[in-house]
Chains A and B, each alone.
Chain A
Amino acid sequence: DAGVIQSPRHEVTEMGQEVTLRCKPISGHNSLFWYRQTMMRGLELLIYFNNNVPIDDSGMPEDRFSAKMPNASFSTLKIQPSEPRDSAVYFCASSLTGDTLSSYNSPLHFGNGTRLTVT
């Protein structure tokens, strides 16, 4: 299995531009998570989906951020317009969850992240 695939690995953009990060979860996984990591704030959950439906987006910083999961094999995180404070490493993770109990057992599999720099 190729694991969780994120693209691009690195993104450098200017303030005000739109940025789209992409994630392909592990085939068969039905939960998908977007995290952001900075030195100041560590790893923060932005949003997670279950069966392609957003379950909790309380971590999304503001309206400039949006995430979609049009099908089970693809998700995007969009920032529009981007700002320098959005510079971070963004991770996508997936897991297989069934009933409630298994949700707390199933490990998350993370991608290698997208390093975003907004100048």
Chain B
Amino acid sequence: DAKTTQPNSMESNEEEPVHLPCNHSTISGTDYIHWYRQLPSQGPEYVIHGLTSNVNNRMASLAIAEDRKSSTLILHRATLRDAAVYYCILRGEETSGSRLTFGEGTQLTVNP
């Protein structure tokens, strides 16, 4: 499976933007970039996904590099509720099929 690399942990202050990076240098042309997050004592939760273009939804924005070898999840104004583990996952025919293969993710701490 194509791998992703994320920092183990990041810290942010409440109401400030957060940029969570992800490297995926071996991404294939058909891989989608998915982001999930897991709050304490809950199951993973879908955040956003994209293929080539930047994407926005009510939760976050996804910025994808032109060569697609990296991406950044952007939380525009962090809240305490955004403290979670964030997973960047590649999903596509060559990589994983319909499966989601989770790595270790980034533990985001939000300070009040």
CB atoms of A43 and B99 under 8 A apart: no
Binds B, one of A11-19, A63-71, A98-106: A98-106
Residue numbers in A under 8 Å from B31 (CB-CB): 104
Chain B, residue nearest A110 (CB)? B43
Residue numbers in A under 8 Å from B46 (CB-CB): 107-109
CB atoms of A42 and B43 under 8 A apart: no
CB atoms of B44 and A110 under 8 A apart: yes
Secondary structure of the A contact surface, majority rule: strand
Size of the B side of the interface (Cβ < 8 Å), in residues, is 23
Contact status of A110 and B93, CB under 8 A, knowing A42-B104, A45-B100 = no
Residue numbers in A under 8 Å from B34 (CB-CB): 107
A72 at the interface (CB under 8 A from B): no
In the bound complex, how far is the Cα of B110 from the Cα of A33, in angstroms?
31
A25 at the interface (CB under 8 A from B): no
A82 at the interface (CB under 8 A from B): no
CB atoms of B98 and A112 under 8 A apart: no
In the bound complex, how far is the Cα of B97 from the Cα of A108, in angstroms?
13
Secondary structure of the B contact surface, majority rule: loop
Contact of A48 among B41, B49, B92, B98 (CB under 8 A): B98
CB atoms of B43 and A112 under 8 A apart: yes
Size band of the A side of the interface?
20 to 34
Residue numbers in B under 8 Å from A109 (CB-CB): 46
Residue numbers in B under 8 Å from A97 (CB-CB): 98
CB atoms of B98 and A103 under 8 A apart: yes
CB atoms of A43 and B102 under 8 A apart: yes
In the bound complex, how far is the Cα of B19 from the Cα of A45, in angstroms?
28
A-B contacts, 21 of them at CB < 8 A, read A42-B104, A45-B100, A48-B98, A48-B99, A50-B98, A55-B98, A91-B44, A93-B43, A104-B31, A104-B92, A104-B93, A104-B98, A107-B46, A108-B36, A108-B100, A109-B46, A111-B43, A112-B41, A112-B42, A112-B43, A113-B42
Q: Which residues of B contact A (CB under 8 A)?
A: 30-32, 34, 36, 41-46, 49, 91-93, 97-104
Q: Which residues of A contact B (CB under 8 A)?
A: 4, 31, 33, 35, 42-45, 48, 50, 55-56, 91, 93, 95, 97, 100, 103-105, 107-113
